[in-house]
Amino acid sequence: MPLTDAAIRAAKPADKPFKISDGGGLHLLVQSNGAKLWRLAYRFAGKQKTLALGAYPTVTLGKAREGREKAKRLLADGIDPGAQKRRDKIAAKVSANATFKSIALEYLADRRHALTPYYADQLLRRLDRDIFPALGHRPIAEIDAPELLDVLRKVEKRGVIEQAKRLRQTCGQIFRYAVVTSRAKHDPSAALKGALKPKGRQQHHTTMPRQELPGFLRALDCYDGDPRTALALRLIVHTMVRTTELRLARWEEFENLDGDEPLWRIPAERMKARFEHLVPISRQALIALKELRTLPGGERDGPLFPSPSREGCMSNNTMLFALYRLGFHGRATVHGFRGVASTLLNEAGFDRDWIERQLAHDERDEVRGAYNSAQYLTGRRSMLQWWSDWLEQIKTTGRIVMIAREAA
């Protein structure tokens, strides 16, 4: 006869332990000290076994029966319920010891080969600042969507909406890594899709109006701040590289600076597209480099723009603040000079492939994507020299006059 709660409560201990059956192998073991323990008798692989299901009344009669049915389903699938319970217990212990920070660090280490050192360090800095203080010590399997949302809301309140979204994406990658490595059951960031504030209208890098270029170049020659910063801006304009590619540059990357064809060889790990990038050096860019050589620290190998900062080089905002100081706040960004150069070189009739390769835009076509860093190098050298000569001309004359490539 199946058990009832009344019958269980009425069961009194005896001198020796005894069982009260509920059917299907489930029974209550009443100990001589009064403890009432749920047990399930079953057979697996021809052997008689017993599975502990907890103590009454912590585990109710209903819960004990649910445990019996779960065990039957496992047996039907050829799984030993006792062995599965041990595995679940080990997994729970591993999960409890797997904190968000430990999994995040493991994930980043696993992905290092696919990330530029700068980007990998940037991800870690963002996690260190905004995620680890609140969630780093928490078992990753216990973190839920509301808890993660609360942390991201604090980032939003600083006004960095896009950064909050990127942090959600990074956390999602970490949670999914924990899922596939059996340290978590789900990714709570997925439930936050649409929960964060929209970033609003996309703000593109402000491109300096072409009519302001002569005045900017003249103002740059008279810059009264750190001479290294002015030279950095000059190199940005003449080489078309990204801010990070320049500020992390090292002297050992430059070749043949005293020869006929000076070259800057930017290593793959610093490039966004993860390919080595060759930058021909125009006469004007070479003059800037030689001026840098005369400044303290420029006479030996190392960073072009040394700094006592954590990265050991010029900060990400140094050139931008110099633009502000020159009077171009809101009217131009450092990255925007790439857009200026691209537009004007296309208008001048240069080969689009030369321009795109010089901008180091990623080649998505897998056939063409066997990247050759020296591709179009001769054409790109002549194009960059034309560009530097044109900049010198408009600075001198103060007038924007487009010169067709053939007349250059």
Model confidence at 261, pLDDT cuts 50, 70, 90, reads very high
CATH fold match for the domains 5-95 and 210-407: no
Contacts of 62 (CB under 8 A, 6+ apart): none
329 is catalytic: no
Active-site residue identified among 27, 242, 270, 380: 242
Q: Known catalytic residue: 361?
A: yes
Where along the chain do its domains lie?
5-95, 100-192, 210-407
- Of the residues 210, 265, 272, 395, only one is catalytic, namely 272
176, 250, 293, 335: which is the annotated catalytic residue?
335
**CATH architecture of structural domain 5-95:** 2-Layer Sandwich (3.30)
Rg (CA), the chain: 34
Give the right CATH number for 100-192 from 2.60.120.890, 1.10.150.130, 3.20.10.10, 3.30.750.200.
1.10.150.130
Please tell me which residue in 112, 204, 361, 368 is annotated as part of the active site.
361
Q: Any catalytic annotation for residue 65?
A: no
Per DSSP, the chain holds a count of helices (H) and strands (E) of: 16, 7
Alpha helices in 222-371 (DSSP H): 227-239, 243-247, 283-293, 318-325, 336-347, 352-358
DSSP code, position 315 = -
Give percent of the chain above pLDDT 70: 91
Tell which wins on pLDDT, 117 or 26.
26
Percentage with pLDDT > 90 across the chain: 56
What's the pLDDT band for 362 if we cut at 50, 70, 90?
Answer: low
Mean per-residue pLDDT, 330-336:
84
Mean pLDDT lowest among 172-176, 262-266, 402-406? 402-406
pLDDT digits (tens, 9 = 90+) for 263-317: 999 988 888 767 889 999 999 999 999 999 998 876 678 889 888 777 788 887 8
Taking 50 as the threshold, does the pLDDT of residue 355 lie above it?
yes
Nearest CA to 235 out of 317, 277, 292 is that of 292
pLDDT of residue 197: 79
Respond yes or no: is residue 352 known to be catalytic: no
Per annotation, catalytic residue among 118, 119, 223, 371? 371
73 noted as active-site residue: no
| CATH number of this structure's domain 210-407, picked from the four choices 1.10.443.10, 3.40.50.10860, 1.10.1530.10, 1.10.150.20 | 1.10.443.10
**What amino acid is encoded at 360 in this protein?**
A
CA 50 centroid distance within chain? 49
Question: In the annotation, is 223 catalytic?
Answer: no
Going by pLDDT thresholds of 50, 70 and 90, the confidence category of residue 241 is very high
Q: How confident is the model at residue 407 (pLDDT cuts 50, 70, 90)?
A: very low
Per-residue pLDDT tens over the stretch 195-238: 887 765 444 467 788 888 999 999 999 999 899 999 999 999 99
Which residue is catalytic, options 183, 234, 338, 380? 338
Which pLDDT does position 205 carry in this prediction? 61
Q: Which of 68-72, 154-158, 396-400 tops mean pLDDT?
A: 68-72
